[in-house]
Amino acid sequence: MQLRKTTLVLILLASLTLTALAACGPQATAAVSEAYVTTLAEEKMQALNDGDYATFTADFSDVLVGAIPEESFQDLRETILGASGRFESVTGLRLANAKTPGYVNYSITSKFEEEEVLLTLVYAVDGEQVEGIFFNAPKLNQAMQAP
């Protein structure tokens, strides 16, 4: 259980760092389209439902794959399913301003069984690989902090 919490904290810290790098600032453009990101988000969340690590991490940068090994993915999956339920659909998407030049983030509003989850995917401006992933929702945040 302690390994699980440590793993989840490390994933959260890595995601927060990348999200902070891409949170605010002048509007930037991304190499990937909104339609592509919507489809990708749906695929990633369905892979989370199914426990499919290979599909979940496809299109992730080497750094991000290294930050989320398969055991950590399974811990993350268990936490998300327990707190938020299964993914159902993407309900909205917006390209967010980048605080750090060279990065953009997509904020994807997603419907899960138990709550709405904000999924953030971080991209390098000219990149096509996901550089960061972050989940934000009240029940999920509470579960991540539980002892």
Please state the domain extents for the chain: 2-144
pLDDT attached to residue 101: 79
Q: Which residues does residue 103 pair with via DSSP β-bridges, in sequence order?
A: 124
Dist CA 87 CA 113 (whole Å)? 7
Query: DSSP readout, 43-56?
Result: HHHHHHHHT-HHHH
User: In the prediction, which pLDDT does 25 show?
Assistant: 46
Cα 86 to Cα 80: distance, rounded to the nearest angstrom: 8
pLDDT at 132 over 80: yes
β strands within the chain, DSSP E: 87-96, 103-112, 116-124, 130-136
Radius of gyration of the chain (CA): 14
> For 43-63, what is each residue's pLDDT tens digit?
999 999 999 999 999 999 999
Per-residue model confidence as pLDDT tens digits over 81-94: 999 999 999 999 99
The CATH architecture assigned to 2-144 reads Roll (3.10)
Of the candidates 115, 131, 129, the one whose C-alpha atom is nearest the C-alpha of residue 83 is: 115
98 vs 78: CA distance, rounded Å: 31
Which pLDDT score, from 0 to 100, does residue 96 have? 79
**Residue carrying structure tokens 């810290």:** 13
**Residue 82 corresponds to which tokens in the numbers above?**
């327990």
